[in-house]
Amino acid sequence: MSEANWKLLEVAVRHLNRIFVVGPPGVGKTYAAQHALKSKQQQVISITLSEDVVLQELLGHFVPKGGEFVWHDGPLTTALREGSLVVVNELGRASSSVKDAMLGVLDSPDVCQIVLPTGEVVQPKATFTVIATSNSGVDELDPALADRFECVIVVSVPHPALIAHLNAQVNGLGTMVKKSYAQESKAISPRAALTFARLALAGVDSDEAAKVAFGAKGRDVVAALKLSGAPVAAKVGA
């Protein structure tokens, strides 16, 4: 279990500027990163990468204005200029050109810079911070890119706030999801649990809600909830 590692993320954000968070899908990596960064009371920019996201979407591009083309900053360039806080989701899924550009973006503050097509060199303000997330691990990154991060935090259980939210929606649901992570093969998707809670709150029968949310595992989920001693009922008005 790595519940304590969620606290380590908060510690890292207070002192570091380049953090890599690794964990299974749906455990709350993006939520935790945004929540931790918002404690600094600055603007937080969230970016989700894939092979289809091109570099121009992140750094910027020329746009027509009147009879000419003018440069328009992308979210990463804006963040560098303003010293914003950035959450980069699924860094490992980025295209090779984006990963190459991130080498400069994630470099140590004294040498970090990007060169725009306009020839302008942009360097970050001191408050510029990046938290990158991944469902896999640091091994999916090129060694040079992985080395840019000041720390790697591995989380393997849902965020405590997510567990509390699920418990607040359906009696015992969050606790059951948390316990399921004791065996990776039996882990219950927190996103599926949120779907179940939504249906339950809408008055859908628990067995039907479980079939919709969890598929073949639905019956086992309801049985586990009943065995826990908690009534399988949504907390209406929660």
Residue at 195 is within a domain: yes
Residues 204 and 139 in one domain: no
Which residue segment(s) compose the domain that 209 sits in? 160-227
Q: Is the pLDDT of residue 129 over 60?
A: yes
Mean pLDDT for the chain? 89
Other C-beta atoms closer than 10 Å to the C-beta of 133 total: 23
Percent of the chain with pLDDT over 70: 94
How far from chain centre, in Å, is Cα 157?
Answer: 14
Residue 238 lies in a domain: no
Assess whether 183 and 137 both reside in one domain.
Answer: no
Q: Is the pLDDT of residue 229 over 70?
A: no
**Is the domain of 136 the same as that of 194?**
no
| E strand or H helix at 30 | helix 29-38
Q: Is residue 232 part of a domain?
A: no
The number of distinct structural domains making up the chain is 2
Q: Which one of 99, 125, 154 terminates a domain?
A: 154
CA distance 19 to 153: 8
The pLDDT score that the predictor gives to residue 238 is 44
Give domain status of residue 234, yes or no. no
Contacting residues for 52 by C-beta, under 8 A, at least 6 apart: 95
Last residue of a domain, one of 154, 174, 205: 154
Residue 118 domain-assigned?
yes
pLDDT given at position 231? 55
